[in-house]
Structure 1
Amino acid sequence: MAEIRIRNLHKQFTDFTAVKNSSLVLEDGKFVVLLGPSGCGKTTTLRMIAGLEYPTSGQITLDGDDVTYLRPRERDIAMVFQLFALYPHLGVRGNLEFPLRNEGVPRIEIDKRVEETAAILRIGHLLDSSVNGLSGGDRQRVALGRAIVRQPKAFLMDEPLGTLDAEFRELMCVELRKLHDRLKTTTVFVTHDQNEAMALADHIVVMDKGEILQADDPHGIYNFPATLFVARFIGRPPMNLIGADAPVVPGDTSVRIARRNIAVPRVDATSTQVVLGIRPEHVRLCGSDEGCLGGRVKHVEYFGSHWVVEVETEAGALKALADKSARPEQGLQVGLRFDTRRVVLFDAGTEKLLASETTLAHQPGMRHG
């Protein structure tokens, strides 16, 4: 196991900046997910940790050792790619043995590790099979096995579930998490899928345009988004974001929305352009005559356990959750009531979270900056 530190990591490709002066501590034995849209810099960051790309500037340490410009084979890491990268001319056993033979591990130790790894991944019955006829899920297990058998200080995984169908992805998420809980090896996992990130991660690092926007545990990422981008990117449906009618100053406990005062956690900073954020599950329908924010039902989606209701209001289109037992009719006049304990405020200019009593209750789970 090993702690990975990146300090002021920067990667420039001619006139394109892929990663911008990023610093982060990936704690020993944690499952860390790099999450963000295509082109955000997450894979480039992973490749620099692996040694497949060298940074333009900055430093990477693994277990206290500077590995910034070491070759991949000198870093004691193992990588799993989206495309399984198995050797088709070797069987399952041959693929598992290959990295150990390449390192000159004695035959008796190779046999021991291969058997142990096959037992962990439940592929012992496939050891004498060809990899060409395996299902996608089994091929991914073999790819994972080839990494595990080396017993590295860290696993690096670049969207390893991306080619699997939805059912297999869910299954492999569960299996990967169980595997990590058993091995306790530092793991860095890249994905653009927030469901994978939430299911797998001890810590999530959200990136956009080459920058780390927030590094925290899944609870913190979901409930206390540090920027408007994180608020929009995390959550299905995403957080409702509503522009306030008036500025706020330290000590304020309400904001003006559509000519109504909406209670919010105490504000600790001045902002002339305020955006109120609240998750749809913290918005409830009420009678249009109950003093709530009024609107008309525009669209309804069924999710089995609940309805997601889109309501057109004076403040814009907002989404709320409704109980599965009653489908709100399109065109119905309704009111919306916010759980004010769950409200977060952003500054529209900086797009950053404004300090409040709500955020003070949460201690971030990672270090970055």
Structure 2
Amino acid sequence: MAEIQIKNLQKRFADFTAVRNSSLVLEDGKFVVLLGPSGCGKTTTLRMIAGLEYPSGGTITLDGDDVTYLRPRERDIAMVFQLFALYPHMGVRDNLEFPLRNEGVPRVEIDRRIAEVAGILRIEHLLGSRVGGLAGGDRQRVALGRAIVRQPKAFLMDEPLGTLDAEFRELMCVELRKLHERLKTTTVFVTHDQNEAMALADHIVVMNSGDILQADDPHGIYNFPSCVFVARFIGRPPMNLLDVHGSVAAGACQVQVDGRQVGVPRVEAPAARALLGVRPEHVRLTAPGEGLAGRVERVEYFGSHWIAELQTDAGPLKAVVEKATRPVEGERVGVGFDESRIVLFDADTERLLPSVTTTAHRSSVRHG
């Protein structure tokens, strides 16, 4: 068991609050990603879990034990940094052995663990090499190996792929996910890259300005963002947002956008003003006169599909269009939606309005 709980966690630096009253349960054996823009508090949260920063308030428990003010070496965690943090004067084998020698692990056990980890990470051929001559990807494998060889209760990773080029970063995402499936060690991973988060995570925690905005599985984060910030931050292109005309009553199954009725999943709470949210892949182009009236402003080609930028009287939209059907810039089109995939936000609070689909998702996450 290596469940991590943070409760009412706070961190202040003079007049600046980096983490604001955060509470979260990081389940045993899960790969959890802390995601958000620079300065959102994700790395500070990770450093408090690691013991590299002490909180200004709140508690942290690991495996049921209060570790809030314990030193890092007393927490039985292993950390992997963005810049590898290897000992440059040592060889690969010495870097891997170093934490085990410090813990007084017998030589036979050290050799067994080194051989096992080298096999898992496919670095057997590097064991006799010097660290300084390794490529970035190989250095990161060695850094991971040094964390794994300790067999800690949890791995903490602070943007460990940030210095790698795009192609190798994608490969390492696959390798990290395979590694997690094999080891099943609780892992907390910090990144600002949503693609990494979606590829790696069992659960994603989205943060901004020191607050936890949403903690959910990748499906929930993408399809049912808890607020307008998450809707705009997640997805490339991000979720479209359109003004709804008039108030929305509890139980409503339709809203009015640009003078037209649009069907939505049944709303479970009222709002005086609302925003309609729909992902670009759930926007479809139709014949003029059907749905909202739109005009194609710009088209981008992405190989497998087109992205069409549209202008409507309700506001700008982006639509994903299959590659066999190239939209023509300047043409008039109708704009429709997959109405089962629409979400609504309270325009005043910018929070997601609960609906039958969001409630069903939350129930499946609780009992899944």
* TM above 0.5: yes
Q: 1:179 Cα deviation (Å)?
A: 0.3
**2:258 alignment counterpart:** 258
Equivalences for 1:189-338 in 2 at 5 Å? 189-289=189-289, 291-338=290-337
Equivalences for 1:94-109 in 2 at 5 Å? 94-109=94-109
Q: 1:326 Cα deviation (Å)?
A: 2.1
How many residue pairs were aligned? 366
Residue 177 of structure 1: SS of its match in structure 2? Answer: helix
Whole-Å separation in 2 of the counterparts to 1:365 and 1:73: 38
Q: Is the CA contact (8 Å cut-off) linking 1:217 and 1:364 kept in structure 2? A: no
Deviates most, 98-107 or 29-38: 98-107
Whole-Å separation in 1 of the counterparts to 2:33 and 2:134: 28
Q: Is the CA contact (8 Å cut-off) linking 1:203 and 1:366 kept in structure 2? A: no
Equivalences for 1:154-193 in 2 at 5 Å? 154-193=154-193
| Cα shift readout 1:170-204 (whole Å, capped 9, x = no counterpart) | 00000000000000000000000000000000000
**Identity percentage of aligned residues:** 75
| Cα shift readout 1:127-180 (whole Å, capped 9, x = no counterpart) | 000011111110000000000000000000000000000000000000000000
Q: Aligned pair 1:60/2:60, yes or no? A: yes
Q: 1:361 Cα deviation (Å)?
A: 1.5
Equivalences for 1:16-165 in 2 at 5 Å? 16-165=16-165
Whole-Å separation in 1 of the counterparts to 2:148 and 2:296: 52
Whole-Å separation in 1 of the counterparts to 2:109 and 2:358: 51
**Which AA in structure 1 matches 2:72?**
P
Residue 146 of structure 1: SS of its match in structure 2? Answer: helix
Whole-Å separation in 1 of the counterparts to 2:331 and 2:292: 14
Q: Is the CA contact (8 Å cut-off) linking 1:215 and 1:365 kept in structure 2? A: no
**Which AA in structure 2 matches 1:190?**
V
1:89–1:365 CA distance, 2 compared to 1 (3 A): farther
| Cα shift readout 1:62-103 (whole Å, capped 9, x = no counterpart) | 000000000000000000000011101000001000111111
Q: 1:364 Cα deviation (Å)?
A: 6.4
Q: Is the CA contact (8 Å cut-off) linking 1:347 and 1:353 kept in structure 2? A: yes
**Which AA in structure 2 matches 1:257?**
V
Q: Is the CA contact (8 Å cut-off) linking 1:7 and 1:60 kept in structure 2? A: yes
Q: Is the CA contact (8 Å cut-off) linking 1:292 and 1:337 kept in structure 2? A: yes
Q: 1:365 Cα deviation (Å)?
A: 7.6
Whole-Å separation in 1 of the counterparts to 2:138 and 2:322: 40
| Cα shift readout 1:94-126 (whole Å, capped 9, x = no counterpart) | 100011111111111111111111111000010
Q: 1:366 Cα deviation (Å)?
A: 7.2
Whole-Å separation in 1 of the counterparts to 2:299 and 2:229: 25
Whole-Å separation in 2 of the counterparts to 1:267 and 1:118: 53
1:366–1:67 CA distance, 2 compared to 1 (3 A): farther
Q: 1:288 Cα deviation (Å)?
A: 0.7
Whole-Å separation in 2 of the counterparts to 1:45 and 1:322: 40
Q: Is the CA contact (8 Å cut-off) linking 1:9 and 1:23 kept in structure 2? A: yes
**Which AA in structure 2 matches 1:323?**
E
**Which AA in structure 2 matches 1:346?**
F
Instruction: Please provide the CA RMSD for this pair.
Output: 1.1
1:364–1:31 CA distance, 2 compared to 1 (3 A): farther
Segments of structure 1 that go 5 or more residues without pairing to the other structure are none
Q: 1:38 Cα deviation (Å)?
A: 0.4
**Which AA in structure 1 matches 2:302?**
F
**Which AA in structure 1 matches 2:296?**
V
**Which AA in structure 2 matches 1:183?**
L
Q: Is the CA contact (8 Å cut-off) linking 1:203 and 1:365 kept in structure 2? A: no
Segments of structure 2 that go 5 or more residues without pairing to the other structure are none
Deviating runs (4+, > 3 A) in structure 1?
364-367
Q: Aligned pair 1:343/2:342, yes or no? A: yes
**1:10 alignment counterpart:** 10
**Which AA in structure 1 matches 2:186?**
T
Whole-Å separation in 2 of the counterparts to 1:30 and 1:119: 23
